[in-house]
C-alpha cells in the first residue's frame, strides 16, 4: 500500500501534518516540533524509496484519484526528479532537526506552531513542484511554497525581514503570474496540461506566436523565481533577514527547485531542438549565468554580513547550475544536476553554521568570526570544509561539479567558459579564505561577547544544531571523495533531459 502510494504520500504527509501542527500546538507548544520532525522524516524515507525504485525499475507514473492522464493529474517520477526530490526531502529533514533550538531563539514563542505549520507547507509545496507531471499542478504547488516562503521570511524577529519578505512577495507574485500566463497560453493552443502530452503536441506549434510568447513568460518567470542574475535582487535581503533555518532551507532547496522547473520546461515540455533552433534561449542563459557566476562572487567579496555574503555566493552558484544547462551537452548537464545536490550540501552547512554562531554569540558580521576557531571548533571545522568545497578544492563536492561543468564546456568547444569557472573559484577562495584565516589566526576583539575570557573557552552550539551541520559537512567530503553514486544519478538524469546529446 505504502509502496504503491508513495508518490502521493511524499506530499501528503507534510501537507496534512501542516494542518495537524497548530492543533497539537494548542495542547503543547513543544510537541509541534515532534510532529514536524516525524512528517519530514517520513517524507525523506519515502523519497529515498522512490529514488531506489526509479533506479531499479525505471519511471513511475502515479494517477491521482485514478484519473487517466492527460485528463487527470499525473505524478511522474523519473531519474531527474527522484534525485531532486531526495535532495529536498533530506535537507528538509535535517532543517527540521536543526530548527528545534534555532527557532526558539529566533522566533516569538506564540508563533512557533504557526511557523512549523508553514514550514511543512513550504516543503510540501517544493516536493509537489518536483514530483508532479502536470503543469498546472506545478503552478499550484509553486504558489503554496511561495506564499509559505514569504511568511517564513517574515517570521523573523527582525523588522527588516518584513520589508525583505514584502519585496520577495511582489517579485515572486510577478514570477508566478508570468508562469501562470505561460501555462494559460500553452493550454490555449494545445488543450493539455500534462507535461508528457504537451511534449508530444507542441512540436507542430513551435512557430506559433502564442507558444513563443508562452515560452518567454516561462523563461522570465522562472528566472525570477530562481534568482538568476539580473533578477536576483530579492534574494540577498530575503536570505539575510530570514530566520537561520529558513535561510538554510531556502538557499539549499527553493532556488534548486526553480532550476528544476527551468530544466523541466526547457527540456521536457519543450524539446532541446526548440531551445537551440527556435528561440536560442541557451545562448541568452549562457551570458546571464556567466555574469551571475562572476558578479555573484565579486559582490560576495564586498559583504560584511555573513548571511548576506552567503546569499550573494548563492547568486553565483545558481549561475553554475544554469550554466550547465545552457551548454547543452550531457557532461555539463551532469555537472549542473550534481551541483543541485552539491550546492545544497555546501550552502546548507554554511547557513546552518551561520545560525549556530548567531545562536551562541549573536554575531552576524564576518569580522565577529575572528578567533572563533578556538571557541566553536566543530562548527568552524564544518564551515571550513564547506568553504573549501565552495572554492572547488579537490576531494570535496565543489570540485566534482566544477570538473563536469568545465569539461562540458570544453567538449562543447566553449573553452572561454573555463576561465569563468576558474576565476570564480579563485574569487570564492578569496572570500572564504579570508574568513577561514580570521577564524583560526585572527585575535578575537572584545565587545562582541560578554567578556574576553569567555571567548577563549570552547563553547559549542547545541548538539541538535551541530549534528545536521556536521552531517552535511561530512557529506561534502564523502560525495567529493566518492562521487560515482551522485554523478551516476545526475548522468542518468542528464541523459533523460538531453536524449544523448
Interface positions with other proteins (CB under 8 A): 388, 391-395, 400, 403, 406-407, 410-411, 415, 418-419, 422-423, 425-426, 429, 433, 437, 440-441, 443, 480-484, 487
Least Å from the CB of residue 443 to other proteins? 8
For residue 252, with 0-12 CB atoms within 10 Å meaning exposed, 13-18 middle and 19 or more buried, which class applies?
A: buried
CB atoms inside a 10 Å sphere around CB 328: 23
For other proteins, the closer of residues 452 and 482 by Cβ is: 482
- Cβ atoms of 259 and 318 within 8 Å: the answer is yes
- Cβ atoms of 172 and 149 within 8 Å: the answer is yes
| H or E stretch at 234 | helix 234-241
Least Å from the CB of residue 394 to other proteins? 5
- Cβ atoms of 246 and 152 within 8 Å: the answer is yes
- Cβ atoms of 10 and 89 within 8 Å: the answer is yes
Compute the half-sphere exposure of residue 191: CA atoms within 13 Å on the CB side of its CA.
0
- Cβ atoms of 379 and 461 within 8 Å: the answer is yes
For other proteins, the closer of residues 9 and 487 by Cβ is: 487
For other proteins, the closer of residues 85 and 427 by Cβ is: 427
Least Å from the CB of residue 78 to other proteins? 22
Please, what is the angle between helix 281-301 and helix 417-441, to 10°?
Answer: 20
Q: Using DSSP, state whether 260 is helix, strand or coil.
A: helix
Query: Which residue's entry shows cell 522566533?
Result: 107
Least Å from the CB of residue 449 to other proteins? 21
Least Å from the CB of residue 382 to other proteins? 16
Least Å from the CB of residue 238 to other proteins? 31
Of the candidates 136, 116, 120, the one whose C-alpha atom is nearest the C-alpha of residue 10 is: 120
For other proteins, the closer of residues 107 and 483 by Cβ is: 483
Least Å from the CB of residue 418 to other proteins? 6
For other proteins, the closer of residues 261 and 494 by Cβ is: 494
Q: Using DSSP, state whether 292 is helix, strand or coil.
A: helix
For other proteins, the closer of residues 107 and 385 by Cβ is: 385
For other proteins, the closer of residues 196 and 412 by Cβ is: 412
Amino acid at each position: 500500500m505504502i509502496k504503491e502510494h508513495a508518490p502521493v504520500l511524499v506530499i501528503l504527509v507534510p501537507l496534512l501534518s501542516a494542518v495537524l501542527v497548530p492543533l497539537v500546538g494548542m495542547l503543547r507548544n513543544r510537541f509541534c516540533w515532534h510532529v514536524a520532525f516525524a512528517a519530514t522524516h517520513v517524507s525523506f524515507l519515502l523519497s529515498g524509496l522512490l529514488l531506489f525504485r526509479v533506479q531499479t525499475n525505471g519511471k513511475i507514473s502515479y494517477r491521482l484519484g485514478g484519473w487517466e492522464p492527460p485528463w487527470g493529474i499525473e505524478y511522474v517520477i523519473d531519474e531527474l526528479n527522484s534525485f531532486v526530490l531526495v535532495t529536498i526531502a533530506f535537507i528538509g529533514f535535517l532543517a527540521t532537526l536543526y530548527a528545534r533550538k534555532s527557532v526558539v531563539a529566533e522566533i516569538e514563542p506564540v508563533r512557533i506552531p504557526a511557523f512549523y505549520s508553514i514550514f511543512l507547507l513550504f516543503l510540501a509545496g517544493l516536493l509537489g513542484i518536483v514530483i508532479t507531471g502536470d503543469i498546472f499542478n506545478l503552478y499550484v504547488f509553486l504558489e503554496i511554497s511561495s506564499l509559505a516562503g514569504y511568511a517564513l521570511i517574515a517570521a523573523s524577529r527582525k523588522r527588516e525581514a518584513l520589508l525583505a519578505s514584502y519585496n520577495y512577495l511582489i517579485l515572486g507574485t510577478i514570477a508566478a503570474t508570468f508562469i501562470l500566463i505561460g501555462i494559460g497560453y500553452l493550454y490555449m493552443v494545445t488543450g493539455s496540461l500534462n507535461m508528457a502530452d504537451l511534449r508530444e503536441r507542441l512540436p507542430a506549434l513551435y512557430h506559433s506566436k502564442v507558444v513563443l510568447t508562452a515560452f518567454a513568460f516561462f523563461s522570465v518567470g522562472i528566472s525570477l523565481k530562481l534568482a538568476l542574475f539580473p533578477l536576483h535582487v530579492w534574494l540577498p535581503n530575503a536570505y539575510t533577514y530570514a530566520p537561520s533555518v529558513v535561510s538554510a532551507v531556502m538557499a539549499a532547496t527553493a532556488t534548486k527547485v526553480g532550476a528544476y522547473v527551468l530544466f523541466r520546461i526547457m527540456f521536457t515540455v519543450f524539446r532541446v531542438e526548440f531551445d537551440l533552433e527556435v528561440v536560442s534561449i541557451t545562448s541568452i542563459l549562457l551570458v546571464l549565468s556567466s555574469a551571475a557566476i562572476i558578479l555573484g562572487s565579486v559582490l560576495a567579496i564586498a559583504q560584511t554580513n555573513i548571511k548576506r555574503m552567503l546569499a550573494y555566493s548563492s547568486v553565483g552558484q545558481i549561475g553554475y547550475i544554469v550554466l550547465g544547462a545552457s551548454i547543452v551537452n550531457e557532461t555539463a548537464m551532469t555537472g549542473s544536476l550534481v551541483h543541485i545536490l552539491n550546492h545544497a550540501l555546501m550552502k546548507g552547512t554554511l547557513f546552518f553554521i551561520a545560525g549556530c554562531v548567531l545562536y551562541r554569540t549573536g554575531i552576524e558580521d564576518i569580522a565577529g568570526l575572528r578567533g572563533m576557531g578556538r571557541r566553536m571548533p566543530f562548527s568552524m571545522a564544518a564551515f571550513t570544509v564547506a568553504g573549501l568545497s565552495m572554492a572547488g578544492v579537490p576531494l570535496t563536492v565543489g570540485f566534482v561539479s566544477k570538473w563536469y561543468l568545465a569539461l562540458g564546456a570544453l567538449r562543447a568547444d566553449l573553452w572561454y567558459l573555463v576561465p569563468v569557472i576558474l576565476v570564480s573559484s579563485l574569487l570564492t577562495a578569496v572570500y572564504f579564505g579570508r574568513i577561514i584565516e580570521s577564524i583560526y589566526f585572527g585575535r578575537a576583539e572584545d565587545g562582541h561577547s560578554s567578556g574576553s575570557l569567555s571567548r577563549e573557552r570552547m563553547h559549542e552550539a547545541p548538539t541538535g544544531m551541530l549534528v545536521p551541520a556536521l552531517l552535511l559537512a561530512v557529506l561534502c567530503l564523502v560525495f567529493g571523495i566518492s562521487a560515482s553514486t551522485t554523478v551516476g544519478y545526475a548522468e542518468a538524469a542528464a541523459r533523460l533531459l538531453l536524449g544523448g546529446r
